[in-house]
Amino acid sequence: MRTDLRMLLLGGAAWAGALAARWMGWWAVVAVLGLVLAHRWRTAGAVALVFAAVAGVAVIRTDRIGGSPVARLAADGAAVRLTGTVTSDPHRTAGRYGDVVITRVDVRSVTGRGTTFALSVPVLVLGDDDWAEVPLGSTVEASGRLSPSDGDDLAGVLGARGPPVVTGDPDAWWDAAAAVRASIRDAVAHRPDAQRALVPALVDGDDTGVSTDLADDFRTTGLTHLLAVSGTNLTLVVGFLLLIARWCGVRGRWLYAVGAAGIVGFVLLARTEPSVLRAAVMGTVALFAMGAEGRRRGTRALGVAVLALLLVQPGLATSAGFALSVLATGGILLLAPAWRDALARWLPRWAAEAIAIPAAAQLACTPVVAALSGQVSLVAVAANLAAAPAVGPATVLGLAGGLAGLVCDPVGRLLGIGAGWCVAWIVVVATRGAALPTAAVGWGTGAVALALLTVLVVAVVLVAPVLLRRPSTGLGCCGLLVLAVLVRVPSPGWPPDGWVLVACDVGQGDGLVVNAGPHTAVVVDAGPDPDAMDACLDRLAIESVPLLVLTHFHADHVDGITGVYEGRQVGTVETTRLQDPPEGVAEVDAVADPVPAPYGTTQQVGAVTLEALWPPPDSPAIGPGDGSTANEASVVLLVDIRGVRLLLTGDIEPEGQAALARAYPGLAVDVLKVPHHGSRYQDEDWLLSLGARVAVTSVGADNDYGHPAPETLEPLAAAGIDVYRTDRDGDVAVVEDGEGLSVVTR
């Protein structure tokens, strides 16, 4: 059966139009309308017309939001009072100085600079705990200070002052959806933590209870889509409703009515945010693809879905979730049938289909996933295949438990037990899969690396049907993949000979390793992620850590401590005197018995000589709970190894830097670990006075703090210092091999 790609072509034109509008504005529309007038070929004209239509909608929407009174007030940093409707569930997230509650509000009126405006634009609200219990759909009044937004889809960001005033209750359908969501949580409230968190995530995308470690395991094994609202959720939920409807005798067009009601109910249950609407549309495409002539109808539906979504929400064009949804659906529709037919030559058809569908979806998404995570999962297909039998029952039982719990709580809990059992298997798949030696391989996020990966993906697409057609080559490919997963292959040329310091790429945090001898190291800070820290030490073949120094107790420096202990002997653990914040202190105390770093005392650990220059012994041991105070108490180490002097500065702030300048005049080093991930708050004169030849910034890609700041790194580079940063360079190794100081990156 020949696949009709015309609607996919129009969907691609819509996507290109939305992207062009973002970068070119009205020029994109004018240029393409010229092509429409110049071309007589019907298909080319249709493509150009769709391009221009979506680009025009995108420009109008951007102008409406970016040119609104709210955006102008935000640019001025004005204090305002606004009225609007809450359009997303409030959720807590970590801020620089503690947790904040984030929600979206559709602003209907705003008063600022003595003028009141009536309008309708979205604003992001950063509030305190009083915002946490505001129901979705409520009308609220709030005051605070506006600031500009980073994205085109928001008119501004409101730093709320005080609690919101609720002036209108949510509509009845929002109350009903909230009742079902609460009932789903109640149905599994008596289950273990992981099950209690994952069942709501599977059913309606409520992932607020999922731990960071478990989310990391799901990401490594390619199961992250189970933690968010996806087309799979809608397909399962609506499919279940259609099955019940058929069982009850519903036939013909009434089934379409049941399906439509199910889609609307799912959107209300999972919230009407852009990601949910995207998932609902993609799930509808999957339902089209299930019927007769599924491939032809599915590709048409996918093209229509992309076009419709971008006309309504042009901002989705730059959304990673949108790209992943479209690519996964396209992979299933375009690649999976050929792979299934090839495998069906020597496997039962059901087995061939079970393998082909997740493999095609995963392969299609691989370049985007690598761009986002910097890694390529080698276990994703197997993990999805293993988890798939439990996903449907867990989703259906979780939803049924929530609905039944509204009427009879014991019945809801009984169904919740079944959902929990199914989810328990998915957790086993994720945790065991992530623990495999090479569950995922690191991959660069630069243009060249991603282009190479895309070429490799295209090559696999072309040769896969040929290789899978015969059992010998098909099983051989599977065997090679299993071998690659089970055997950790050493990185060629890593670690480089003569390395003295490696700044591990652990994300937004510090994880530094100083070479103390064969398979031995002094570790300074453990980063935010145990797996990332463990993997870096594995790459360096470190088996013994006689000294672990934690510069201070912020999560991005201590939460990865268990990764240092994984399969290694760890000796003394030294920390700062300031026991703050309490959560970080508890994290460390649960693993080790730390002692304060000895100020002014020289220590010898193998080939390493180190001295703690800060904090002084008269500094406080208990702080006020302020983030800057904890940074200021960072242990600062002067390290000497094979004649190379390293200054490892933790997150020390400008005041502490100035104090060090006074206490150690003329201090000179070869390598500087830039304080506080390259924050803009620095004593620039002191940093430049150190005379470092190399500066390394340990920082996470796309972090929310603006690290590293150009005003910090540019003066260092202008002074002739070689500047490296882990978000772009990966692991950074400083090398002294007898021929001078050099840097090698991984």
Could you read off the pLDDT of 666-710 as tens digits, one per residue?
999 999 999 999 998 899 999 999 999 999 999 988 777 788 888
Helix, strand, or coil here: 549? strand
Neighbours of 597 (CB within 10 A): 26
Say which residues have a Cβ less than 8 Å from residue 629's Cβ, sequence separation at least 6.
Answer: 578, 580, 623
* HEC profile of 401-421: HHHHHHHCHHHHHHHHHHHHH
* Predicted local confidence at residue 635, as pLDDT: 94
Which two tokens mark 546? Answer: 């006689």
Q: Which residues make beta-bridge pairs with 121? A: 107
**Domain 499-737 belongs to what topology?**
Metallo-beta-lactamase; Chain A (3.60.15)
Q: Closest Cα to residue 610, out of 541, 691, 542, 673?
A: 673
Percent of the chain scoring above 70 in pLDDT: 88
Look up tokens 């991603």; give the residue: 450
Which two tokens mark 270? Answer: 């999972």
Question: What average pLDDT score do residues 41-68 get?
Answer: 75
Looking at the predicted structure, is the pLDDT value of residue 294 above 60? no
What whole-number distance in Å separates Cα of residue 75 and Cα of residue 69?
Answer: 10
What whole-number distance in Å separates Cα of residue 273 and Cα of residue 609?
Answer: 55
**Domain 69-170 belongs to what topology?**
OB fold (Dihydrolipoamide Acetyltransferase, E2P) (2.40.50)
Could you read off the pLDDT of 388-433 as tens digits, one per residue?
788 878 888 888 888 899 889 999 999 999 999 999 999 999 888 8
What DSSP element (H or E) covers 311? helix 294-312
CA–CA distance from 219 to each of 6, 390, 421 (Å)?
34, 18, 21
Which two tokens mark 485? Answer: 């997963």
* Predicted local confidence at residue 273, as pLDDT: 64
What are the structural domain ranges in the chain?
6-66, 69-170, 499-737
What whole-number distance in Å separates Cα of residue 35 and Cα of residue 21?
Answer: 16
Question: What average pLDDT score do residues 119-134 get?
Answer: 88
What whole-number distance in Å separates Cα of residue 221 and Cα of residue 384?
Answer: 8
Highest mean pLDDT of the ranges 13-22, 80-89, 146-155, 624-633: 80-89
Question: What average pLDDT score do residues 158-181 get?
Answer: 86
Looking at the predicted structure, is the pLDDT value of residue 446 above 70? yes
The DSSP call for residue 599 is B
Burial 336-352, CB ≥16 within 10 A → b, else e: bbbbbbbbbeebeeeeb
What whole-number distance in Å separates Cα of residue 695 and Cα of residue 248?
Answer: 70
Question: What average pLDDT score do residues 544-569 get?
Answer: 93
Q: Closest Cα to residue 339, out of 355, 328, 325?
A: 355
Residue 381 amino acid letter: V
